[in-house]
Amino acid sequence: MNVLKNRTVIGLDVGDVRIGVARATVGSFFPVPCDVVVNDVRVYDRLAEIFDTESAVAVVVGLPRNLSSEDTQQTKQVRNFTKKLQESTALPIYFQDEAGTSKKATQELSQHKKIRRGPAGSVDALAATYILDDFLQQEAHRELFA
């Protein structure tokens, strides 16, 4: 029996104001929106609480790039955020290209015309779900958590 079976992988969509959080249970690899965290001075403490509560075994951070897959100012900010996050946790952190995830989340929420309260209705948490799903769909990454 896999001892990680009930643990989770956390996905983050890092923004200047908010961070969308998603989770996928190891074994099922079905990401769902989890939370939205304000990106302020307490952000690392809040994320640590989520990692602990969710029994996280790894974190996946969406990495923004431009249409030519080159780094942007936002890429630099996310890398700096992730560097500080790594200093506050022992969990392994992986990057995943986040191209189009926020746009896809916005379209999905408007297409369904559902206004939901909480993270399930949040563009940020839904984008984090797509980031995590893209990461987990790559066979090499799935083996990390098998």
Number of domains in the chain: 1
**pLDDT above 60: residue 138:** yes
Asked if residue 73 is part of any domain, the answer here is: yes
Residues in the chain, overall count:
146
The whole-number average pLDDT for the span 102-125 is 58
| Residue 136 in this model has a pLDDT that exceeds 90 | no
Percent of the chain with pLDDT over 90: 44
146 inside domain: no
CATH number at residue 100: 3.30.420.140
40 domain-assigned: yes
91 lies in some domain? yes
Q: What is the mean pLDDT of residues 38-52?
A: 96
Residue 86 lies in a domain: yes
Question: What residues make up the domain containing 67?
Answer: 8-141
**2 occurs within a structural domain:** no
Q: Classify residue 3: in a domain, yes or no.
A: no
Report pLDDT digits (tens) over 73-106. Answer: 888 999 999 999 999 999 999 999 887 555 655 5
10, β-bridge pairs: 23, 59
Q: What is the pLDDT of residue 23?
A: 94
- What's the sign of the alpha-carbon dihedral 72, 78, 81, 85? negative
